[in-house]
A and B are shown apart, each in its own frame.
Chain A
Amino acid sequence: MMPANAVDADSRLDRRNAAHVLRRAAPMLRPYRRQMWIALGCVVLSTGAILAGPLLVRYGIDSGIAEGRTDLLNWAVVAYVVVSAIGYLASRSQVLAVSLVGEGFLRDLRRRVFDHLLRLSMPFYDREKAGVIVSRMTSDVDSLQELVQMGLLQLMASMLLIVGSLVLLAVVSPVLLLVCLVPVPAVVWASRKFQRDSNVAYLDVRDDIGRTLSSLQEGVSGVRVVQAYGRSEHQVARFREHNDRLYRSHMRSVFVQAWYLPVIEGASLLTTALVVGIGGGMVLNGSLTVGTLAFFVLTLSNLFEPIQQLSQLFNTVQSSGAALHKLFGLLDTEPDLEEPEHPVDLPRSGELVVDDVGFSYDGSVPVLVDVDLRLAPGERLALVGPTGAGKSTLAKLMARQYDPTAGSVSFGGVDLRDASSAELRRRITVVPQEGYLFAGTIRDNVRIGRPEATDAEVDAALESLGLLGRFRSLSEGLDTQVRERGSRLSAGERQLVSLARAALADPAVLVLDEATSSLDPGTEVLVEDALEKLVEGRTVVVIAHRLSTAERADRVGVVADGRLAELGTHEELVALGGRYAALYENWTAGRR
């Protein structure tokens, strides 16, 4: 149960967007052409069956009963049975066919959107809020699912039924149809107003549900603070406000309904009255048969019932359309990093060269300026500097999570932009600050480093860091399920698995973001040991948060104000007496 989503401004769908959505959806539906034709055929058949009923009643009355021809009456009855049977079968298959198309489309859409998300590069994820990205795949697709399961068929059938009824009425008696059309302007006006009002009310309700649930969640998860401060009453008052607002929104939405339904119902019965009054007169004049009159009365319910149903579907259709528009918008987002057309392989090892690199996130405020740096194979560089000075950005550029806006980054003489992303990950691996695990076994999680690795290779990777014994000793060994986000393991153990991933990937260059939070006393040592083994023989760039890490590195780079302000060995920089030296002195003093 998540707090409901805030209503985005783009929860409405205008005509232009609707056209765009339809244009984009069409190619995705192409594989389901056959099913769609079947579905359409079935809907036509079953609608036809519904429309044929009153026609047969009319035939039975006029040709059979009125003329005393029981044989014709019997024919009408038999025909009605047959038509009903066809209608039954058609509507059975239409449910299945529409579901096959709709659910298939949704399955494809889910996969496509997700695969697209995976193709998008880090800048996208740094820009967008995680919650919004997730909601594309959850609430947006879910509102489409609702349409597919509840409304799509009804939508098609209702529209066909209205059109079909009108056509039939016109064929049978154009004059009487004109009579039926008298209340149409009122119905059209009411329906348009209803669409507008109910959409507003619907969005209000959704918004207020979200607010109420947030307030509820806050009250429940913050209950300890609330009680510790004796503020329960205050909290209840806050909740009451949201709860009352939700009630009022609900009532406004009910009011819109309660106001609209009578108009449709009234129009329907008024039309019946007109048909009886005027049609009755026409029967007396001989210009209309009794059967036709009965046919009109029966068919009127085929006309007004679907109008009412369509009005109920309106909000679902509207929000599904808006959701689809957002999804296609996402699919249209191009990855910030372009894949090269003719990818070049990276060498097994080589120099990592940052050549005159400049970078800006937004194109105007420079984050890095004129950075030059050469790392020999196997060299370890620690980057230090204040938050926001650009050291993380520099590390990201060196792993091509971002592209520099000026200059270039190359490995073994190959510009990183010329290598495919798969090739890049094989040579340059980024180990994030915290060991992030996915639901699955420990083995699955290690294998993420190189999906095609055998079990023996996974074991070997763990062994190379001296960790195999530790994880084997768990009750289910490497097959232990770590649960969502690895919650079954401690933070330190998660970090160990993350390091094993990197060992399995066996890259030439490692980019490490050092953890800022310390681990429990026991595992801290293990992580340090494993890390020491992992970096052996590799080129390493570490974003250092601890000076002891910098002290151990071959060279230290101080990034400040968007520049590589100091670069050299620890001793050199201490001797230099600059920023690093000041920092170091401060730190050693603090250590006592």
Chain B
Amino acid sequence: MVAGLVWTAAKVAVPRLVGEAIDDGVAVADRSAVVRYAWMIAGVGLVAAVFTGLRRYLAFREARWIEADLRLELFTHLQRLHVGFHDRNQTGQLMSRANTDLQQIQNVVVLVPLTISNLATVAAVVVLLVSIDPLLTVLALGSLPAMNVLTKRFSTNLHRPLMAVQEESAELATVVEETVSGIRAVKGFGAEADRSTRLAVEADDIYRESMASAQVRATYQPALEVLPSLGLIAVLGYGGHQVVNGDLALGSLVAFNAYVVLLVWPLRMLGWVVAMAQRAAASAQRVHEVLDTTPLIVDPDVPERLPESGGEVRFDDVTFAYRSNGPLVLDHLDLVIPAGQSVAIVGETASGKSTIARLLSRLYDVDGGALSLDGHDIRHLELAELRHAVGMVFEDTFLFSDTIAANIAFADPHAPHDVIVGAARSAGAHDFIEALPAGYDTLIGERGYSLSGGQRQRIAIARAILADPRVLVLDDATSAVDPSKEHEIREALSGVMGGRTTVVIAHRPATIALAERVVLVGDGKVVADGTHEDLLATEPRYRSVLAAWARAEEDGDADRGGVDGDRNVGGVDEDVDGVAGYGGAGDGIDDVEGIEGALR
């Protein structure tokens, strides 16, 4: 701010000094005065130069700092917000809050100190010129406020076509993206011509919108350029006559000229600021909305502590819906799992079985009834303690762009290597990890090595095993694992499950058989409860559910299941539908190891 004002003073002084050099030096033939003024200009110029850099640096430092700070705050808040919030908001939208919107805000913040010194410049120049010749000031600067108005209008009018160009570019990107990722279909069916036509349409659209934006620029830009000339002309015409008449010094005329030129940029920038401030206000509003959302799932004020060991899970008359007034996913469900017991939960798609898993680690809160762990309502426990006690393996495995070791050690980054290896062994992942180029240090994820669906699931299981929870929840966790490997994992899992409360959501008989007890759920309730053999013998509904799944995987090849296939059929599976975008991580299930594996 101070830097800005010093800059203002120096900038404003220069034309004045030039004018006085002409009037007090050149005009009166005072050579020493000329040299003196030249030195003064040089000195003031130096000050102006230094402070130009300084004011810019300081303005950006402030703005970038605010941007970085807000982004961190936004991220921290997003990490704390309940899963229900994330279900409703697409990743892309949240990303643009933290990116585009913060950019808009930063753009304006950086301009605030610059604008203040620019305003000061305008004021100083006006005062100075009025003191020399008020009428000439009006003539010289009269057209300049128009520049301010024009710039603002320019920026506003340009915004629309620029947005349209962006939108059309996004559509073109979609065509390119779907063509490249579907290149097998394009080549297989010879669809090149069709794709080419589609792209041509999008390219034409971009062209059209770009030309619309060029039209706007052609309207305003030249006008903005020509406006200062009007001031210069007025100075030359009216001021020239004044000088001839002896009413104005020649140096002042030159100074007037220089001032008109000096004011061009500050005035243009003022116009930009107004237009950008409007956009930034909208952005700030959107960012604020996110920051203002209260996390619904938080630590209790006075947390209770879990006993040293245990693992008893109790669903007591639990009701739950993903949306208020939405369909009930769990409908007065009662279920008690004694500590150390393993339970398989079986049901059709949309029966609510995955929801049971998600409620256990309190990703959502129950709407009615209560869910307790070792006698404590889980809402009365510290989140960290609860989530340490409940280990989850999701059906759609999400791995981080990091090494395999770091992914397995997610729950405890300081875990020693042999613990990591032990967990990988238990999950049947050790052998393939060892075979990778960099073993446990192999980078995976977006820019790293891509694993098959089955491999990803095994790493996710290892991650849960390493956490060593008292309750382990496996939500269809082996669905993409090749059956010929699954029996290895099954053996390992039965070791892990020994003495630990385990909830397995599955539909392969062999996996179900791992559990001591089977619970069949349907329409959000427990329909039947017993051992696998009991239910097979006594429950026709159990048999029909198993048979439906078995048909789907008929050939004993891939048990990668219905949920993936159903994901796109709106409403068929509200488990999945309720958490829209849940599977967006794009875990390509391509573990083609069925008969191939056996053949090796």
Contact = CB atoms under 8 A, between A and B. Distances in A.
B569 A583 contact: no
A229 B387 contact: yes
A544 B363 CA distance: 41
B258 A298 contact: yes
Contact of B65 (A247, A433, A505, A524): A247
B172 A243 contact: no
B557 interface: yes
Given A229-B387, A523-B565, A223 B86 contact: yes
Interface string A62-104: 0011001010011011001100100111011101100110011
A280 B593 contact: no
Nearest to A263: B49
A230 B383 contact: yes
A591 interface: yes
A586 B598 contact: yes
Interface in B198-215: 198-200, 203-204, 206-207, 210-211, 213-215
Contact of A298 (B14, B196, B214, B261): B261
Contacts of A484: 174, 178
Which range holds the interface residue count of chain B? 35 or more
A328 to B, nearest CB: 18
Contact of A269 (B48, B53, B165): B48
Given A61-B250, A87-B229, A431 B188 contact: yes
A299 to B, nearest CB: 11
A334 interface: no
A89 to B, nearest CB: 8
A52 to B, nearest CB: 10
Interface stretch (B89-97, B496-504, B526-534): B89-97
A202 B273 CA distance: 24
Given A88-B223, A227-B83, A80 B233 contact: yes
B96 A518 contact: no
Contacts of B363: 224, 227-228
A187 interface: no
A376 interface: no
Given A92-B222, A261-B56, A517-B560, A273 B64 contact: no
A571 B213 CA distance: 71
Contacts of A447: 194
Given A57-B232, A114-B195, A518-B553, 12 more contacts: A68-B244, A145-B169, A216-B75, A217-B95, A220-B78, A232-B80, A250-B68, A254-B56, A269-B46, A439-B178, A520-B552, A525-B551
A329 interface: no
A79 to B, nearest CB: 10
Contact of B64 (A91, A212, A247, A511): A247
A234 interface: yes
B122 interface: no
B87 to A, nearest CB: 9
Q: Which 5 A-B pairs have the closest CB atoms?
A: A269-B45, A277-B38, A425-B190, A266-B49, A430-B188
A280 B22 contact: yes
Contacts of A501: 189
Given A219-B75, A243-B75, A277 B34 contact: yes
A313 interface: no
A217 B91 contact: yes
B75 A236 contact: yes
B83 A284 contact: no
Contacts of B597: 386-387
Contact of B173 (A117, A138, A224, A389): A138
8 contacts: A95-B217, A95-B221, A99-B218, A265-B45, A429-B189, A432-B188, A448-B185, A583-B598
Interface string A310-339: 000000000000000000000000000000
Contacts of B592: 387, 516, 545
Interface in B137-193: 165, 169, 172-193
Contacts of A491: 564-565, 568
Interface stretch (B234-242, B336-344, B431-439, B512-520): B234-242
